[in-house]
Amino acid sequence: MTKVRAAVVGGGIVGVAVARELLVSGTAAEVTLYEKEPQLASHQTGRNSGVVHAGLYYEPGGLKAALCRRGVGLLQELTARRHVPYDECGKVVVARDETELARLRVIFDRALTNGVPGVRMIDAAELARIEPHARGIAALYSPTTAITDYAAVTRALAEDVTEAGGRVLLGQEVTGMHDDGTRVSVVSGSGAATFDLVVNCAGLQSDRLAKASGDSANPRIVPFFGAYFLLRPERRSLVNGLIYPVPDPRYPFLGVHLTKRIDGEIMVGPNAFLAGGREAYNALALVPRDLAAVAGFGGFWRFAAGNIPAAIREGRTVLSRKAFIEAARAYVPELGVADVVPGRRGIRAQAMNPDGSLVDDFVITGSKRILQVRNAPSPGATSSMAIAEHIVGLAGRN
């Protein structure tokens, strides 16, 4: 593929990583990054827990499994070069009974297949040495699972973009893309510009932009918010690293866990419940357009009908701080309601199929001139630079 003039839409970590990779790989001679907010990493990238996932859970052979491990290595190189904080604080996935232990062994086998370094099964005594306040009959221990500041990582990637000659345009919302058969016209607040290649990394708005460019309306983005609490400073000693539950196949989301953050805060959460809008971070905010889109999507109602117990469980944590903390007490019994203060909310861009199933793996679709990142859930931030390599590889084959 000859060098092209390219644009990337979306200033989250995946979008900025793609812009960087287009330049450093030599694929594009010029790159313009569009971000509608006045700063980068304003949405999912800047509102997550900062975990650098090691690759424990992911089905071998899928994009998540392949790109997560590659992404960790690239992230380590970048954080070292740009002096972004990176801490291998470690993670335990705690089994509370024999049923969970059986599921945990499956995860352990996957972790070994995926090449996760240092991962091992530990008994209750070793769990108590690693996380003295956690309780369980056994755990999976991943010593190289880490934490970082993904907003700082995104800014570091943007420095690479601008140093390589790329442009980062903030406060420029892209409202349309049109492929005329030879070039792609991108319409933003500053007018229209044409490019040889455009990559849609718009996250919470990715499906709308994809549809506007002529791609399929599906999968749809359904926004689910996740609320967090923070441990009071005097109670942070309850957690040394990351304490996670064993995923329950009956529920679509992981459930409440405890996470050390790179700034020293300890996060408890998140829960998962339908948000009042795609960017409705205020608990009382309602966005009619977004709610109407969910209400008019049959896939959501099929999902809801099949997940009533999960909705009840998550609903309790939305309505009651006691219920929220009780979920975390299953792993750290000393934790109390008085030990926490409200934290921030994030909103997950959950891709959903018309049959109501959730899209699990990374999904990248498109054509010769427009590539669409339709789904980049966790470990999307961890894998961002590897996702960028994958996308630029796809562009090079077109």
Closest CA to 67 of 375, 361, 374: 361
CATH of 4-50+151-217+360-397, one of 1.10.3660.10, 3.40.50.2020, 1.10.1660.10, 3.50.50.60: 3.50.50.60
% of the chain exceeding 90 in pLDDT: 96
Q: Write out pLDDT tens, residues 32-84.
A: 999 999 999 999 999 999 999 999 999 999 999 999 999 999 999 999 999 99
Res 8 pLDDT > 60: yes
Res 23 pLDDT > 60: yes
**Integer Cα distance of 343 and 302 in angstroms:** 32
* pLDDT on residue 49: 93
* pLDDT on residue 318: 96
Q: Write out pLDDT tens, residues 232-276.
A: 999 999 999 999 999 999 889 999 999 999 999 999 999 999 999
Please, which residues have CB within 8 angstroms of residue 388's CB and are 6 or more apart in sequence? 14, 17, 18, 20, 21
**Integer Cα distance of 362 and 185 in angstroms:** 26
* pLDDT on residue 179: 95
Average pLDDT of the segment spanning 182-210? 96
Q: Is 89 helix (H, G, I), strand (E, B) or coil?
A: coil
**Which architecture characterizes domain 86-147+221-352 according to CATH?**
2-Layer Sandwich (3.30)
* pLDDT on residue 398: 65
Give the ranges where the chain is alpha helix by DSSP (H).
13-24, 63-82, 98-113, 124-130, 150-163, 206-212, 288-295, 298-305, 308-319, 321-329, 384-397
Q: Where in the chain is the domain with CATH 3.30.9.10?
A: 86-147+221-352
How much is the mean pLDDT over the chain? 96
Banded pLDDT at 119 (limits 50, 70, 90): very high
Closest CA to 210 of 181, 179, 182: 179
* pLDDT on residue 250: 86
